[in-house]
Amino acid sequence: MPEIKTILVTGQGGQLGQSLQVLVKQNPQYQFTFTGRKQLDLSCSEKIAAYFAQHKFDLIINCAAYTAVDKAEEQQQLADAINHLAVKQLAEMAKKNNSILIHISTDYIFDGTNHKPYTEDNAINPQNIYGSTKLKGEQAIQAIACDAIIIRTSWVYSEYGHNFVKTMLKLGKERPELAVIFDQIGAPTYATDLASSILALVDTLNHSQQTGVSVYHYSNEGVCSWYDFAKAIFEYTNIACNVLPIETKDYPTPAKRPHYSVLNKAKIKQKYSLNIPYWKDSLQACLDKLQ
Ligand SMILES: NC(=O)c1ccc[n+]([C@@H]2O[C@H](COP(=O)([O-])OP(=O)(O)OC[C@H]3O[C@@H](n4cnc5c(N)ncnc54)[C@H](OP(=O)(O)O)[C@@H]3O)[C@@H](O)[C@H]2O)c1
């Protein structure tokens, strides 16, 4: 396998894309190219083809996605173009150019009926459009069978963009009381931790071989509900906002979400010798940066 030198990262303006941009400064051995929709619009197959006619990379990290879970119920075609068709095309480019593809997927490909953390080979059954378009993206990679790593993650937050932590900080300062769902159980993922683990994977790929498609699960360690997550955010920031636990049925959203989507990370930890931080420790690190 040729040494990895050139790396394309899509979704430069997103949470994971921005977190990677900060960390790559410590990795001068690689030549990174970051793209946003201006340079590489993933909703347009002609533009993707034109871009790859001009550019070739040893590795592609696809951090771009259509991530507006509720809006996707109405914008099905756009979500499919970005989360499925573009991913298929990236896999085709990777196969043609002999590149490795690292693609990020989601816990929302599961239906949430498990009572113990999901392993990579558990049955998939997405409950919303976002989840089904992300699953089709995964399936396209499997069908094309380029050398690829699919990392499913959950509840991503960071200092950047829109996410649950930033929404809670804003609302918690404005309101004396907030109702937050306690019957959806998952695990938060600090984008910096995921970015750092992806870079560790890239280093390992230089010494080992990636043949075919491998699927891994990644989040921070531990388990919580959105209610517990909100409580921890207010505790660390000393925001005096009372959090009321409510059920999903009392907070209707256009997209159905799984009640339980904790991911089992044993496979990625073992394969890549990763030490994954506990979710509360990473939350503290993110809140320290935000304050
Ligand atoms: N956020 C979560 O809770 C969560 C949970 C599970 C899995 N994931 C997965 O984790 C990955 C990273 O998520 P994230 O939270 O970093 O997402 P994010 O913050 O929403 O960023 C997504 C990025 O995709 C870009 N994008 C959207 N449409 C595009 C297009 N047509 N062409 C090119 N770029 C386009 C966006 O560009 P603009 O900045 O221009 O909009 C943005 O930079 C995604 O694969 C996502 O599905 C996320």
pLDDT digits (tens, 9 = 90+) for 72-120: 999 999 999 999 999 999 999 999 999 999 999 999 999 999 999 999 9
Please report the DSSP string for the chain in residue order: -PPP-EEEEE-TTSHHHHHHHHHGGG-TTSEEEEE-TTT--TT-HHHHHHHHHH---SEEEE------TTGGGT-HHHHHIIIIIHHHHHHHHHHHHT-EEEEEEEGGGS-S--SSPBPTTSPP---SHHHHHHHHHHHHHHHHT-SEEEEEE-SEE-SSSS-HHHHHHHHHHH-SEEEEE-S-EE--EEHHHHHHHHHHHHHHHTTS---SEEEEEE--BS-EEHHHHHHHHHHHHT---EEEEE-GGGS--SS---SB-PBP-HHHHHHHT--PPBHHHHHHHHHHHH-
Distance 115 CA to ligand 1 centre (A): 28
Domain count, the chain: 1
| pLDDT of residue 250 exceeding 90 | yes
Residue nearest to atom 45 of ligand 1 (CA): 104
Mean of pLDDT values over 202-219: 90
Residue nearest to atom 7 of ligand 1 (CA): 106
Domain at 270, CATH number: 3.40.50.720
- Residue 209: what pLDDT? 76
- Closest atom of ligand 1 to 164 CA is 3
The answer to whether residue 150 is domain-embedded is: yes
Distance 11 CA to ligand 1 centre (A): 6
The answer to whether residue 201 is domain-embedded is: yes
The answer to whether residue 290 is domain-embedded is: no
pLDDT digits (tens, 9 = 90+) for 118-127: 999 999 999 9
pLDDT digits (tens, 9 = 90+) for 47-63: 999 999 999 999 999 99
- Closest atom of ligand 1 to 162 CA is 19
pLDDT-based confidence at residue 1 (cuts at 50, 70, 90): low
Mean of pLDDT values over 5-18: 97
Q: Pocket residues for ligand 1 (CB within 6 Å)?
A: 11, 13-17, 36-37, 40-43, 63-67, 82, 104, 106-107, 134, 153-156, 161
* Domain assignment of residue 121, given as a range: 6-162+190-219+261-277
The answer to whether residue 234 is domain-embedded is: no
Residues annotated as catalytic are 130
| pLDDT of residue 10 exceeding 70 | yes
Distance 120 CA to ligand 1 centre (A): 22
Distance 137 CA to ligand 1 centre (A): 14
- Residue 26: what pLDDT? 84
Average pLDDT for the chain: 96
Residue nearest to atom 10 of ligand 1 (CA): 104
Distance from C-alpha of 36 to C-alpha of 200, rounded to nearest angstrom: 23
The answer to whether residue 54 is domain-embedded is: yes
| pLDDT of residue 262 exceeding 70 | yes
